[in-house]
Chains A and B, each alone.
Chain A
Amino acid sequence: MPSFALADEPSLVDWTRQRVETVLLKPLAERAGSRFSRSRPPPQERRVRVTQTSLSRDEQRRDFMPFSVDVRFGAGNWQADDIVGCAYRASGNLFVKRGEVYFPAAILLGKKVTSVPGACQAVAARS
């Protein structure tokens, strides 16, 4: 099947990585609060890993790309999956997993939001 993607259009992986960095990681880095607190110190580095190369589809037939964010504290090793979530291709919305449910990524920036049932849950492709 021929690809209709334009030559200068970023790949899905690049698009997801850019989206996560712009919407989530940059604001998180800017939001680093006081260190004199019981909250976890901000990591030295964060990196985005896009865990699939193709789109998944949820129950509402919306396409998304799952991603993970790894973190590193000091000179230690990378800790995988500090943040797990997905980016919706059409809307660009990001969702992150807290416990067993997914919330809009804004929750990590301090916004009060509620969980979104079915978000980032891929349904098996029907034949």
Chain B
Amino acid sequence: MLLGSALITCMSLPYFDFETLPPFVIEKLPLRFESLWLAALRVHVAAAALGFPLCLLLLTRALQRRVVWHRWLGRVTGGLLLFALLPSGVVLAFDAKGGAVVTAGFLLSAVIVATALIFGVRAARRRDLISHARAMRHVVGQMSVAVVSRALIVALDSAGVAPDVAYVAALWGPVLASAVLVEWLSRRPIFWLQTPIYLVERMRREISPLALVLRVRARFHAVVRAGR
């Protein structure tokens, strides 16, 4: 995902060349509000280039252990998504190629992100970390649509699918699949989570190697402590 995000960022750099028009922009012309659309595109690209890697970083256990860092980076990322990425995305959605079906797809994704983001922040504030994690997985799931959708467009083009059909399928497929997948992962029954493999995996992640070494050493080379 990080690689895909970096690739999209590299491919989006021509949008900041104010002298030429990239192919994606040329396809749209003429636009009703060209200046507004171009400004929205640049804001959206910049916000996504920064926001998506930050979202992935916030999912790492290393950052989740550093609560203060996680909290502050989460606030920055949430603000970026809510006040830059989403409003600009909504502006772009109304001129999306593919017409109303594609516009609806982008708007649905935006609604999921906004709702999950607000719900997730409220859950974090009341220390409901399970609901917070579930909501934020929805945010990242929808953010990942940018990468999955482009990969699908390439795959469907290679398979000879007409670009118009491919564009719609490559948007709606990942939007719905991400939402369903996150919900499915969040609603897995508890016994599913208690399989030995899962528990060992959790222990491996939770217990640091040093703690494990100390525990083993305490068991086999117990040191008699002098009491007072």
Interface residues of A (CB under 8 A from B): 31, 33-41, 73-76, 98-99, 101, 103, 107-108, 110-112, 115
Interface of A, helix, strand, loop or mixed by DSSP: loop
Residue contact B157 to A41, C-beta cutoff 8 Å: yes
Residue contact A38 to B26, C-beta cutoff 8 Å: no
Interface-located stretch among B16-24, B52-60, B181-189, B196-204 = B16-24
Contact of B163 among A41, A108, A111 (CB under 8 A): A41
Residues in B whose Cβ lies below 8 Å from that of A74: 157, 159-161
Q: Which residue of chain A has its CB nearest to the CB of B159?
A: A74
Task: Report the separation of the CA atoms of residues A41 and B22 in the bound assembly, to the nearest whole angstrom.
Answer: 13
Q: Which residue of chain A has its CB nearest to the CB of B164?
A: A40
Residue contact B30 to A98, C-beta cutoff 8 Å: yes
Q: B27 at interface (Cβ–Cβ under 8 A)?
A: yes
Q: B11 at interface (Cβ–Cβ under 8 A)?
A: yes
Question: Do A33 and B23 form a contact, CB below 8 Å, given A74-B160, A99-B30?
Answer: yes
Contact of B21 among A41, A73, A111 (CB under 8 A): A111
Question: Do A108 and B153 form a contact, CB below 8 Å, given A41-B163, A76-B160?
Answer: no
Task: Report the separation of the CA atoms of residues A35 and B150 in the bound assembly, to the nearest whole angstrom.
Answer: 8
Residue contact B30 to A39, C-beta cutoff 8 Å: no
Residue contact A107 to B26, C-beta cutoff 8 Å: yes
Residue contact B26 to A37, C-beta cutoff 8 Å: no
